[in-house]
Structure 1
């Protein structure tokens, strides 16, 4: 499940490295710049235009993507929309701890896992350089997200290279209004709204798939860089069939809400650059598919 949830995890996941986990990330060796041409879509009518750009929340250095059609679309836009606009780290940290720590009296997380899964969970935690019980007070969704995100820095991925950070910085420099489709509180609430079973399943499958994290991320980034949404859909969303609850809460319902927002925004003149996780723009329940249900056509920008 870690594979299909990683694209669904919002930019919030980037702020889940808690103080106990603070370590110096391994620096990826510098490599020659590689040109990436990620997919871009546009919705337009006589006086309104909305660009849809799919992101990968963390990237290694050296991948060139904020150019050509993507940069042109950004430059033409009057405003920018991300999934969320991140608050300052202290505020975000407080929200995470408030919503992601289990209530007093809840059994330790290790004890809530099936006995046969506990050793692998403990190893995953200690591999981060933490005591085996370091995540025991977390709700399962937060422990799972922490385990899936924290190792990425050791693999050379950095949110500073991620499109959200690049786009947000460019928007501020250009004086473009920058807002979120959701608030941090809302996004954290989506995770918290998952049933206990879904959260524990998420944690168990995250631990099982951690050894494949490097190859899975590399494959997703390659598909993204090639602008291949069909491959991304296969890589990211196929396994969602095994978790209808997660699919509904973290992908389908959110995509439908964003599509509704886009349709409503088209009633006003102007140009908007919308950047969301690439998993939301791939597969049969994508934002584009939800727009089609509303009678709105999104066209792929060729470049």
Structure 2
């Protein structure tokens, strides 16, 4: 967690995990104090938008005409994908766009690692701020967020799918390790793990990570013009590295401090 301050405004930048093992202790210390002090919560999606995400995903993810997975993958990627399906059930991949299959692989890996969105940071924050009667808003809409994937060019989508298929067998171990690194606040290790993944597909990194970080940093700068205390909670990967939100703000002359 980082803190951006000026004379009359504080904005906490909390790096979240969207799904966690039930019972994970993450909201003590400075994080708990920041939650209590904040006047409002800003997340990637408002609760209303998060509730609509499943329906919009199904709408956008479904292909106009089926395309067999064998027409998209071959050799090792196809074999790995089939093994992944065999271990947990078919994904109806023929009916879905490439980007949607990638998301489902990630969701199944999280499930198999015993991670639950119900135990994730966003769900707990929503409950806490609702109970306190504090406003909750979102930086994006569910449709806008999913359109970032839908609008990726076909080659980039196929690259993402191929990489996800090749790594499917290790996906559970990978997400378990990432969760452990996040839990102990090891920013360097987490940055390496995230960058090793997203740096391999530059077009996806630009659209899904870097451009969003710039938009969110711009929101922080605008919000600093108003007094008050805000908790801004977004996926932890967006706060890491030279193009993470804290680094962008610091480069623009803002006062940014890591507090936990």
What's the TM-score, normalizing by structure 2? 0.93
Q: Which structure 1 residue ranges, 5 or more long, are not aligned?
A: 1-39
For 2:86, the equivalent position in structure 1 comes to 126
What's the TM-score, normalizing by structure 1? 0.81
| Pairs aligned (count) | 260
For 2:136, the equivalent position in structure 1 comes to 178
* 1:237 Cα deviation from its structure 2 partner: 1.3
Say if 1:86 and 1:184, in contact at 8 Å, map to a contact too.
Answer: no
For 1:68, the equivalent position in structure 2 comes to 29
Say if 2:50 and 2:142, in contact at 8 Å, map to a contact too.
Answer: no
For 1:113, the equivalent position in structure 2 comes to 73
> Per the alignment, in what secondary structure is the counterpart of residue 63 of structure 1?
coil
1:90/1:253 CA distance change after superposition, 3 Å: closer
- 1:63-212 equivalence runs, <5 A: 63-87=24-48, 91-104=52-65, 107-114=67-74, 117-130=77-90, 134-212=92-170
Distance 1:63 1:115 in 2: 39
* 1:89 Cα deviation from its structure 2 partner: 7.9
Q: CA RMSD in A?
A: 1.9
Distance 2:51 2:8 in 1: 41
Note if 1:271 corresponds to 2:251.
no
Say if 2:49 and 2:142, in contact at 8 Å, map to a contact too.
Answer: no
Q: Deviations over 1:110-129 (max 9, x none)?
A: 31324553333233223222
> Per the alignment, in what secondary structure is the counterpart of residue 176 of structure 1?
coil
